[in-house]
């Protein structure tokens, strides 16, 4: 004769406690932050830490690639304008070497063409810094779930128009050697003051070179200048 063993209330309580412990012990997704502004890194950390484990804050593109390879985070949040190596190039290296790591771009550049370039190199999300904090959290969750996210304000039609404008500009061989040096440094994420220090010239001279570069290439914004440099592999 068979008997059915009935679970006692104490057993049920023990099982429930083990289940809750198992849930609590599940580690949160690991996030690596990259931005060249220390105050923003700290603000992002405070925003994310209730839900995610922030494993580091990096302010240089080359250091970001090294840190990502060492820490192997689930998500890398990166700005486009980064010193040393711009965020798009750093992100591309990370995507190639760590295909399971999700890339979320968080940037001041609300340019659809740059967003398209970010997704082309392997991004899962593109968020502009003027967005509400909840938008970044939504983008990270979408990336971790295997989806994609882009700030709603970015219009694909504007991006296509922008890409045509950049494609039609003069080649960079129309620039002087000094102008190409300035363009390369700006594309790497250096400010005009930093570029001036590298080249040993005055900041106002860098500003003048930038003005001449944009006039020669028929570019109308810093975002177009950055996109041009990236497409020409000058950054």
Assign residue 88 the CATH number of its domain.
3.40.50.2300
Please list, in sequence order, all residues whose beta carbon lies within 8 angstroms of the beta carbon of residue 54, skipping any fewer than 6 positions away.
31, 32, 33, 44, 45, 48
> Which H or E run includes 203?
helix 203-217
The answer on 145 and 69 residing in a single domain is yes
* Gyration radius of the chain's alpha carbons: 23
- Which range of residues forms the domain containing residue 201? 165-231
Name the nearest CA neighbour of 33 among 187, 140, 144.
Answer: 140
Q: Is residue 2 part of a domain?
A: no
The answer on 219 and 142 residing in a single domain is no
The answer on 75 and 56 residing in a single domain is yes
Q: Grade residue 119 by pLDDT with cuts at 50, 70 and 90.
A: confident
Q: Grade residue 97 by pLDDT with cuts at 50, 70 and 90.
A: very high
Q: Which of 157, 181, 200 is the last residue of a domain?
A: 157
pLDDT at position 190 is: 79
The answer on 42 and 92 residing in a single domain is yes
Q: Is residue 36 part of a domain?
A: yes
Q: What is the mean pLDDT of residues 204-208?
A: 85
The answer on 138 and 33 residing in a single domain is yes
Q: What angle is formed at CA 79 by the lines to CA 221 and CA 126, rounded to 5 degrees?
A: 85
Structural domain count, the chain: 2
> Which H or E run includes 212?
helix 203-217
What letters, b where the CB count within 10 A reaches 16 and e where it falls short, cover 113-147?
bbbbbbeebbbbbbbbeebeeebbbebbbbbbeee
pLDDT at position 234 is: 67
Name the nearest CA neighbour of 108 among 189, 219, 198.
Answer: 189
Half-sphere exposure of 153 (CA within 13 A, CB side): 11
Q: Is residue 104 part of a domain?
A: yes
Q: Is residue 22 part of a domain?
A: no
Tell me the per-residue pLDDT of 5-50, one tens digit each, with 9 for 90 and over. Answer: 555 555 555 555 555 544 457 899 999 999 988 889 999 999 999 8
The answer on 151 and 169 residing in a single domain is no
Q: Which of 103, 125, 157 is the last residue of a domain?
A: 157
The answer on 175 and 83 residing in a single domain is no
Tell me the per-residue pLDDT of 152-184, one tens digit each, with 9 for 90 and over. Answer: 876 444 444 445 444 444 556 678 888 888 888
The answer on 185 and 129 residing in a single domain is no
Q: Is residue 1 part of a domain?
A: no
Give the residue, 214 or 25, on which the prediction is more confident. Answer: 214
pLDDT at position 167 is: 46
Mean pLDDT (the chain) is 81
């Amino acid at each position: 004769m068979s008997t059915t063993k009935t679970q006692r209330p104490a057993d049920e309580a023990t099982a429930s406690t083990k289940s809750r412990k198992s849930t609590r012990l599940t580690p949160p997704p690991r996030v690596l932050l990259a931005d060249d502004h220390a105050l923003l890194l700290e603000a992002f950390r405070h925003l994310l830490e209730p839900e995610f484990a922030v494993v580091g804050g990096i302010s240089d593109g080359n250091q970001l690639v090294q840190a990502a390879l060492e820490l192997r985070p689930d998500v890398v949040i990166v700005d486009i304008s980064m010193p040393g190596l711009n965020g798009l190039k750093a992100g591309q290296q990370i995507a190639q070497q760590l295909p399971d790591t999700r890339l979320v771009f968080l940037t001041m550049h609300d340019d659809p063409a740059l967003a398209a370039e970010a997704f082309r190199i392997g991004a899962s999300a593109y968020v502009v810094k003027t967005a509400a904090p909840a938008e970044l959290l939504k983008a990270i969750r979408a990336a971790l779930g295997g989806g994609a996210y882009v700030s709603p304000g970015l219009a694909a039609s504007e991006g296509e128009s922008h890409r045509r404008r950049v494609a039609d500009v003069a080649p960079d061989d129309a620039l002087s050697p000094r102008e190409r040096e300035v363009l390369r440094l700006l594309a790497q994420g250096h400010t005009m003051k930093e570029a001036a220090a590298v080249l040993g010239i005055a900041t106002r001279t860098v500003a003048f070179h930038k003005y001449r570069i944009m006039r020669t290439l028929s570019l109308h914004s810093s975002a177009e200048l950055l996109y041009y440099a990236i497409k020409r592999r000058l950054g």
